Amino acid sequence: MSKIVDWSRRASPWIIHFNAGGCNGCDIEVLAALTPRFDVERFGILLKGTPRHADILVCTGPVNEQIKSRLKRIYDQMPHPKFVVAVGACAISGGVFRGCYNTLGGMDDVLPVTAYIPGCPPRPDAIIQGVYALLEKLRKGGSKGG
């Protein structure tokens, strides 16, 4: 039974998008990647509204003190195996908000990040390529997730 569950997670990953703030440039690009123009559903990727049904947490924006506990709560609600994708310079390192009084830095300061998609903001096709690279890594048995 676990082989079937593993196959279904690799064949049809469900994502949840978390916007930690910032300028919302990356947020707009993630949403653009979900539109019919780029059609991520051809890879089986579906956006879900609840973390209890999601396999991949797609994060944008820098992490600050206010968001940290909410981000951890959402991550803890996701079923195993779970993966985190940091999208954009702010999610990777804090970006232009690095060094601000309430900014902790990137997502990897709070959660174990599986994939990084650089850019400010990254294009929708780069986001799709990053998620697809994560899926290929899973298909080859590269990572077990968090």
- Walk along the chain (146 residues) in steps of 10 and give the mean pLDDT of each run: 65 83 82 84 82 89 88 91 88 83 84 90 87 80 59
pLDDT of residue 145: 61
Q: Where are the domains of the chain?
A: 2-139
pLDDT of residue 1: 66
pLDDT of residue 12: 72
**H/E stretch holding 1:** none
With helix as H, strand as E and coil as C, how does 76-144 read?
A: HHCCCCCEEEEECHHHHHCHHHCCCCCEEECHHHCCCCCEEECCCCCCHHHHHHHHHHHHHHHHCCCCC
CA 124 – CA 56 distance, rounded (Å): 17
pLDDT of residue 6: 64
By C-alpha distance, which of 40, 7, 18 is closest to 91? 18
pLDDT of residue 39: 81
| 2-139 under CATH 3.40.50.12280, yes or no | yes
